[in-house]
Structure 1
Amino acid sequence: MEKTRGRSRLKRVLIVLGSVVGVLAVVIGGGFAWLWTGADISTVGKVSFSQEMKVPPLAESTVTKDGTRVFDLRMQAGETEFKAGKKTPTWGFNGSYLGPTLRAARGEKVEVRVENTLDEASSVHWHGMHLPAAMDGGPHQEVAAGARWNPYWKIDQPAATLWYHPHPHGATEQHVARGLAGMFLVDDAKSGALALPKTYGVDDLPVIVQDVEFDGNKLDHGHKILRNTGFLGGRTMVNGTLDPYKEVGDRLVRLRLLNASTARIYTFGFDDSREFSLVGTDGGLLERPAGMKRVQLSPGERAEIVVEMRAGERTVLRSYPWEKGDAWEKRFSGGDDSFDVLQLRAAKTLRDSPTLPQRLVESELPEAKDAVRGRYFELKLSGINGKKMDMGRVDETVTQGATEVWTVRNGGDMTHNFHVHDVQFRVVEFDGKPPGAALRGPKDTLAMPIGSTAKIAVRFDGPADPDHPYMYHCHLLAHEDEGMMGQFVVVEKGQQAGTPGGHGGH
């Protein structure tokens, strides 16, 4: 009898436990379903295009007796009125948000007098620029609060759309998201002689794209649940302008697209799927224009495109869902998201533009056949080649003047990208195939979807300096901050790497 009662109690307990587990399963399943169905974002058809797009001013400069062009940049805190009547705390260069466009020509000597008026250390990295490692502005060149830094170098690379942004170790995402970024345009005689749109702010437009989120009047930089890619905002802005439009008066318009977001990947095209011409990538012009309807940019990448306008029309630059990525990433890492980014409004009468040239410039990229050795880099959030960033450790030592082929592989945990300081590399192959049109130009940053493998040819022309390293890292900035970064030094043949210093206590 006692055994019968015991079995009966056990049965009741199991029934109750089963019911509780069932309820929990329903609740958890329902919660996940709610997260899944609500994770994608779209602003398509919802943007008012009510504010004229700001065009960052060209930075003023002076030229010294020895011909050095000198710029002044001041990192500062301020307030920006993104929305009428609401002031948002922000950071900027020479203003409250973003910075002026620096412009100089190949062959010029430049100096940038950087002043940090913030209440914490930061740095200014010249992304895409070929320059000595000590002037690179990476984490070893932090500028303390209240301090100054005067990097100088000679510009020795083709015309290109470059940019500048902070690179403090462990805090890059926050510093960029607060507004510290700007363009640096390099000109040269070859590009100047081409019949390309080239009047800055008129038919040659900087388009700095960022995603943002507001919490009241403040910028919200928080990482949402299940989104380990980093910060993803619910709307976009261009050059610090929400709901932007730009009136244009020329038949051909050149857009210098910069993905200055910290984690979001954009697939740019137009709302009517018109074809445009890709004329330049990260480090400069292509050998010839490439017609396409979509170009995808991960954080840090640039593309120069030329679009043809018709009198009186309006067209929208749109970001479409990712071309690659697994179902989880598309849902929780922004791959399914769509944005109306910028409206172009053509005048009723347009100035005619010269026909786009069929050939642009000869390539200056290194050739894989000239490589003297190879290296391998596996990308995972846990580190590159299994190692977290260590400011005191030199990971790779390369010989001045040498060409190498680097094999870069995404280890399979999530989408990353790969940025190398100082150089512009050639993509030799991607997933075992020749690169597509968007990857044939000079690159310093390369998107790496899950499981992908790329081979890149890299040449190290800069001055040897065993004590000052350059970086290579994932440019999804939260990943960089978490340690997905390594460093290399350039040495003379037979020389050994030194000991990195000047890392601000990291």
Structure 2
Amino acid sequence: MIRTTGPSCTRRQLLTGAGALLLLTGCTGVPSTGTPARPVAFDAPLAIPPLAPSHVGPDGTRVFELTAQKGSTAFRPGVQSATWGFNGAFLGPTLRAERGEQVAVAVSNALDEPTTLHWHGMRLPAAMDGGPHQEVAPGRTWRPTWRIDQPAATLWYHPHPHGRTEEHVYRGLAGLFLVDDPADAHGLPSAYGVDDIPVIVQDKQFDDDGQLTLDSNRAEPGLLGSTVMANGTVGAYLDVTTERVRLRLLNASTARTYDVGFDDDRPFHLVATDGGLLAEPYGTTRVRLSPAERAEVVVALVPGEHLMLRSFPPNLGDVASSTAFGGTDTFDVLQLRAAPALRSSPPVPAALADIDRLREADATVVREFALASRLINGARMDMDRIDEVVTAGATEIWQVHSIDRLPHNFHIHDVQFQVLSIDGAPPSPELGGRKDTVYLEPGRTYRLIMRFSDHTDPKNPYMYHCHLLRHEDEGLMGQFVVVDRDSPRPTASDVATHRH
């Protein structure tokens, strides 16, 4: 087994970026806000993102069209806020396709600056991934195409321009991509917008004129807004007509971590995470979601009741200041209003999916990743540097740990990994499925096992990075390529940067 450790560096060298030493000695900086919102009336119907139209071409490819554009949105009555969206003023439609389908997306850029569009959680060739190397210039269109080859899952799409991801996502460029599997007969609620509900959770900050603000100082961990919205709706309610409802939760915030449950602490079933269904439902009262993580939950209601989806103070681990980083905040997100009479729903199945468990004994490489402030293994992101070279088809273990006391998480493009252990102990059940993003409690080692696909490309890299987007923009990101076994190691001159 090969073990890689990245560049040789000392702990002090790892902690010299962007004020990390000051943070570790207790100077946490002024948080962006960290102040929970004042109570609001939950009197606005939850907006349900429409399913994106598509057509099937002569070659059998399902084609979608998305345009990144500017607009305005009334988050509050009578106040128009400048926003960005896909095919509309804010957020984007839900793309939906089946496993085995060839899909293509015509991505047009109607903004006045370059952007990209990354398919978060999707297994696909690097040239179609939509990372910072696949930049779409203003007025241009990019048309990635790939075959969907992964289990049913709640994925999402968002921009990934180098150094500008935080602002593009914050302004509203994001949407869901649902993968269906015809062989998946799980018996869960599945009527989109009826008992199968997308819930995109974001926090925002508004100025006195009702405009979105994004502070430009280096406060940690990024902007923590005092207003939380679901699908772009502030004070949202959902009329529930069935005994059970499935909520597909996405944390699309740029920095805030949520701990999601219900106001009466009732138990619910966690049935899926980032990469799809769990092997069996997990009964719980809380699910922690750091930026970019997803969770599908099924909750039962009784006729006539009102139930609040709430974010409780999340356990951020041994961070420098839980209060400054949002660890003491409570937010109400969405009110569920059960009808006086509810249609019956089948019980949640005892078994959900067969998960191919990767074996530690099959891993041929162990890689080490130490995160500190804006550095990984002592290095800041460089678009012209390949940090890791992976062999197609290999099973690898990545040992990831945060050695400073800032909130971080870790996202890997191209793969869904499994959490082997945390500090040597088995992961809790909510981490037992397929994941592409995991929260890193400071000082703890997360061992992640993954198998890389056959999408080889020595010129187009995938990314791994912290998904707290200010951290990503300021350098907490690296690049890897997947190559054939006999391919030479790529050099900086091999890296492709495309403008469309």
Answering whether residue 350 of structure 2 is matched by residue 355 of structure 1, we say no
Q: C-alpha distance in 2, partners of 1:74/1:406?
A: 36
Q: Report sequence identity in percent.
A: 55
Q: Deviations over 1:209-250 (max 9, x none)?
A: 00011111210111578x310111001000000111100101
Residue among 159, 167, 181 paired with 1:166: 159
Q: C-alpha distance in 2, partners of 1:462/1:453?
A: 28
> What SS does structure 2 have at the residue aligned with 1:369?
helix
Bigger proportion of residues as helix: 1
Q: C-alpha distance in 2, partners of 1:322/1:188?
A: 33
Residue among 488, 491, 495 paired with 1:500: 495
After superposing the two structures, state which structure 1 stretch, 373-382 or 152-161, moved more: 373-382
TM-score (norm 1): 0.90
Residue among 193, 214, 219 paired with 2:212: 219
> What SS does structure 2 have at the residue aligned with 1:330?
coil
Residue among 412, 427, 436 paired with 1:435: 427
After superposing the two structures, state which structure 1 stretch, 170-179 or 357-366, moved more: 357-366
After superposing the two structures, state which structure 1 stretch, 491-500 or 442-451, moved more: 491-500
CA shift, 1:369, in A, is 2.2
Q: What is the aligned partner in structure 1 of residue 178 from structure 2?
A: 185
Q: What is the aligned partner in structure 1 of residue 7 from structure 2?
A: none
Q: What is the aligned partner in structure 2 of residue 48 from structure 1?
A: 41
Q: What is the aligned partner in structure 2 of residue 335 from structure 1?
A: 327
- Does the CA-based 8 Å contact 1:394-1:497 persist in structure 2? no
Q: What is the aligned partner in structure 2 of residue 80 from structure 1?
A: 73
CA shift, 1:122, in A, is 0.2
- Does the CA-based 8 Å contact 1:410-1:416 persist in structure 2? yes
- Does the CA-based 8 Å contact 1:223-1:231 persist in structure 2? no
Residue among 404, 407, 425 paired with 2:399: 407
* 1:303 counterpart letter in structure 2: A
- Does the CA-based 8 Å contact 2:318-2:441 persist in structure 1? no
Q: C-alpha distance in 1, partners of 2:216/2:313?
A: 20
Q: C-alpha distance in 1, partners of 2:482/2:362?
A: 18
Q: C-alpha distance in 1, partners of 2:34/2:381?
A: 33
Q: How does 1:451-462 map to 2 (within 5 A)?
A: 451-462=443-454
> What SS does structure 1 have at the residue aligned with 2:322?
helix
Q: How does 1:462-473 map to 2 (within 5 A)?
A: 462-473=454-465
Q: What is the aligned partner in structure 1 of residue 390 from structure 2?
A: 398
After superposing the two structures, state which structure 1 stretch, 54-63 or 359-368, moved more: 359-368
Answering whether residue 112 of structure 2 is matched by residue 125 of structure 1, we say no
Q: What is the aligned partner in structure 2 of residue 201 from structure 1?
A: 193
Q: What is the aligned partner in structure 2 of residue 11 from structure 1?
A: none
> What SS does structure 2 have at the residue aligned with 1:364?
coil
* 1:319 counterpart letter in structure 2: S
CA shift, 1:503, in A, is 5.6
Q: Deviations over 1:237-293 (max 9, x none)?
A: 000001111001011100000000000000000000000000000000000000000
> What SS does structure 1 have at the residue aligned with 2:321?
helix
- Does the CA-based 8 Å contact 1:325-1:335 persist in structure 2? no
CA shift, 1:194, in A, is 1.6
Q: Deviations over 1:133-191 (max 9, x none)?
A: 00000000010111110000000000000000000000000000000000000000233
Residue among 128, 139, 142 paired with 2:132: 139
The list of structure 1 runs, each at least 4 consecutive aligned residues, that deviate by more than 6 angstroms after superposition, is: none
Q: How does 1:256-267 map to 2 (within 5 A)?
A: 256-267=248-259
* 1:143 counterpart letter in structure 2: V
| Root-mean-square deviation (Å) | 1.9
How many aligned residue pairs are there? 470
Q: How does 1:379-390 map to 2 (within 5 A)?
A: 379-390=371-382
CA shift, 1:39, in A, is 6.5
Answering whether residue 369 of structure 2 is matched by residue 377 of structure 1, we say yes
Answering whether residue 268 of structure 2 is matched by residue 273 of structure 1, we say no
> What SS does structure 2 have at the residue aligned with 1:130?
coil
Answering whether residue 27 of structure 2 is matched by residue 68 of structure 1, we say no
Quickly say closer, same or farther: Cα 1:40–1:136, change in 2 above 3 A: closer
- Does the CA-based 8 Å contact 2:319-2:405 persist in structure 1? no
Q: What is the aligned partner in structure 2 of residue 153 from structure 1?
A: 146
TM-score (norm 2): 0.91
- Does the CA-based 8 Å contact 1:231-1:262 persist in structure 2? yes
CA shift, 1:84, in A, is 1.2
Q: C-alpha distance in 2, partners of 1:76/1:459?
A: 37
Q: What is the aligned partner in structure 1 of residue 3 from structure 2?
A: none
CA shift, 1:50, in A, is 1.2
Q: What is the aligned partner in structure 2 of residue 17 from structure 1?
A: none
Choose 1 or 2 for highest CA Rg. 1
- Does the CA-based 8 Å contact 2:72-2:81 persist in structure 1? yes
Provide structure 1 residue ranges, at least 5 long, that are not aligned to the other structure. Answer: 1-31
> What SS does structure 1 have at the residue aligned with 2:442?
coil
Q: What is the aligned partner in structure 1 of residue 105 from structure 2?
A: 112
